[in-house]
Amino acid sequence: MATSEKKGEGFLGSIILPLALAQFVCSYAASNMNVAISDISRDLGTSVQGVQLTITFFTLTMAALMIPDSKLTDISGRKRIFLIGLSIYAVGALIAALAPLLGVLVFGYSLLEGLGSALLIPPVYILVTVSYSGIARAKNFGRVSAAGGIGAAAGPLIGGLITSAISWRASFILQVLIVVAIIFLARPIVEPKYEGPKHHFDFVSAILSGLGLLLIIVGLQTTSTYGWLIASKDVSIGNTVVIPQGSISPLVIIAGVGILFNIAFYYSIRHRERVGKELLLHTHILHNLSSNLGLVTQIVQWTILQGSFFVISVFLQTVRGFSAIDTGLLLTASTIGILFTSGIAGRLAQRRSQRLLIRGGFIITILGTILLLVLGGAKTPIVNFIPGLFLIGAGVGIMLTSSVNVVQSAFPDKDQGEISGLSRSISNLGSSLGVSIVGSVLVSSTLPQNEPYGLALIVMIVIAVIGLVAAILIPKRTTQPVLEQQAAVP
């Protein structure tokens, strides 16, 4: 049974601190790598594209496994899965810190840290839901969501400081230490005892959903070499040409197969639902208009945040010749923007609906990206980047908590495990898409100096407009209950 926040229980004395730190470190892991691209490439003898793939597959692993791992929390317990996820994450971070080759970094960072994150994040949001109610729940959703946004925004600065002062490897050691502290702080967590039938795991649906997401991202990765719609060169396996130049691109084929797997996933869960078997995800979760539109805004937010950070980091390091610390310091403008608007989100929510805040956030983010496009360049003063970066952070900061509340509050407590997994999967898919899309634009473009950078920012603007349209379409009648809960979010 969810309870209100105990009187006198502050943030530092509550179970929210380890949960917020867990969300922080996972978001930090997705963004701190950006400022170390040059150092990692040089140290491991790889390329910018190699590091891009590593970052992309970290967030993709989370996206592909988030829904199945969310179901595991119902089977094995939220706290137990949370601690298992933390342990796997710590092992992965340690392996990544010691990686001698890119393949080892991919194993430790992309796979193990990604798996650990997929295990530990769903329990974070479920534990908030089942442990609190009313205003206390909304306040703590805000704290956890803000921690995720701050982790993503502060990652470049912290990562830049550590990379410049010590090494990019030290950033992974820091993650290990934080995770050990979270395990210690998580000891007081006591989840409500589950009373009901024993849960079973739907392996077939889990495989179908995971393969569907994986193939879509893999398809996007091919665009940097073979183009988006038409193959720009022969696609060969060994000495055999499987797709000749001028034919349909690998993206269309691979992503198309991924879409078919996702359709098969839907019909798999629908069949199990009809015959009365336990599901990975109930179909009614996918049929809620407000939740679906909220999920669209979530995927767009994280696509913009991670995509913008990646393209700006690559541009500053490869075109402007910035070091890791210089890149991190400049990106701090976005961190300040997120901190500022997330800090006043509660007061804004007392006066405005959630959907209006999401709309405003997208408009501010679009303006910020336009400023970067107009004012930034290969030879412009570096201060020209600050207004745009600040507005991007401010816009995303306004939206993060509002989108989570719109999605989570569309369902009762019994559905929170499933919607939490879907919500986190969508957010991480957005992060993976952001890095993948802008990375493909940067690598595939043959334009000189800052033109690929400008083209990537234009792509971000188009994606942000899609998010704005989704925010406008969120039904008005569903926002009032969320507003009531959100009023006290700090």
For range 476-483, the mean pLDDT: 47
Of 374, 388, 372, 380, the residue nearest 334 (C-alpha) = 388
Is the pLDDT reported for residue 181 higher than 90?
yes
Which comes out higher in pLDDT, residue 431 or 444? 431
Q: How far is CA 34 from the centre of its chain?
A: 14
Average pLDDT over residues 69-86: 85
> HSE on the CB side for 32, CA within 13 Å?
30
Which candidate, 297, 259, 211, places its Cα nearest to that of 470?
297
Cβ pair 436, 221 in contact under 8 A: yes
Highest mean pLDDT among 30-39, 112-121, 329-338, 451-460: 112-121
Mean pLDDT to the nearest integer, 279-298: 89
Closest CA relative to residue 56, chosen from 36, 31, 38? 31
Q: Which of 37, 45, 313 is nearest to 168 (CA)?
A: 37
Angle between helices 479-486 and 385-408 (to 10 degrees): 110
pLDDT score for 101: 93
pLDDT value for 198: 64
* pLDDT confidence of residue 473: 93
Residue 485 — very low, low, confident or very high, per pLDDT cuts 50/70/90?
Answer: very low
pLDDT at 13 > cutoff 70: no
pLDDT in tens, 211-265: 988 888 888 878 777 877 888 888 888 788 888 888 898 889 999 999 999 999 9
Closest to 462 in 3D by CA, of 334, 373, 345 = 373
End-to-end CA distance of the chain: 24
Distance in angstroms (rounded) separating the CA atoms of residues 85 and 106: 18
For residues 339 and 423, the answer to whether their CB atoms sit within 8 Å is no
> CA 316 to CA 311: how far, in whole Å?
9
State the Cα torsion 53-58-160-443 to the nearest 10°: 20
Superfamily of domain 16-201+280-486: MFS general substrate transporter like domains (1.20.1250.20)
Would you state the pLDDT for residue 444? 56
Q: What pLDDT is recorded for position 96?
A: 95
Weakest mean pLDDT among 3-12, 161-170, 279-288, 381-390: 3-12
Is residue 439 over pLDDT 80?
Answer: no
So what's the pLDDT on residue 192? 66
Give dist(CA 23, CA 481) in Å, integer: 25
Share of the chain above pLDDT 70, in %: 89
| Model pLDDT, residue 199 | 67
CA of residue 437 relative to chain centroid, distance: 14
Query: What residue has token string 């898409």?
Result: 433
Report whether pLDDT(10) > 80.
no
How much is the average pLDDT of 142-148?
A: 77
> What pLDDT is recorded for position 7?
41
Give the per-residue pLDDT at 259.
94
Ranges 117-121, 453-457, 477-481: which has the least confidence: 477-481
Give the pLDDT score at 256: 92
Tokens of 63: 């996206």
Residues facing 3 on adjacent strands: 132
Given pLDDT bands bounded at 50, 70 and 90, which one contains residue 187? confident
Query: Which pLDDT score, from 0 to 100, does residue 469 have?
Result: 96
Q: Residue 46 CB: number of other CB atoms within 10 A?
A: 18
Confidence of residue 4 (pLDDT cuts 50, 70, 90): very low
Asked whether the beta carbons of 210 and 64 are under 8 A apart, the reply is yes
Looking at residue 105, its pLDDT comes to 95
Contacts of 467 (CB under 8 A, 6+ apart): 296, 297, 300, 301, 304, 362
Task: Give CA angle at 165 (394, 109), nearest 5°.
Answer: 70
Q: Is the predicted pLDDT of residue 484 greater than 50, yes or no?
A: no
What's residue 195's pLDDT?
60
- Give the model's pLDDT for residue 319: 80
Locate the domains of the chain by residue range.
16-201+280-486, 202-279
Per residue in 401-418, pLDDT (tens digit) is 788 788 878 888 778 767
pLDDT of residue 487: 31
What is the average pLDDT score of the chain?
82
Q: Which residue bears the tokens 């993709």?
A: 60
Which pLDDT band, with edges at 50, 70 and 90, does 450 fall under? low
Question: Both tokens of residue 370?
Answer: 């336009």
pLDDT at 5 over 50: no
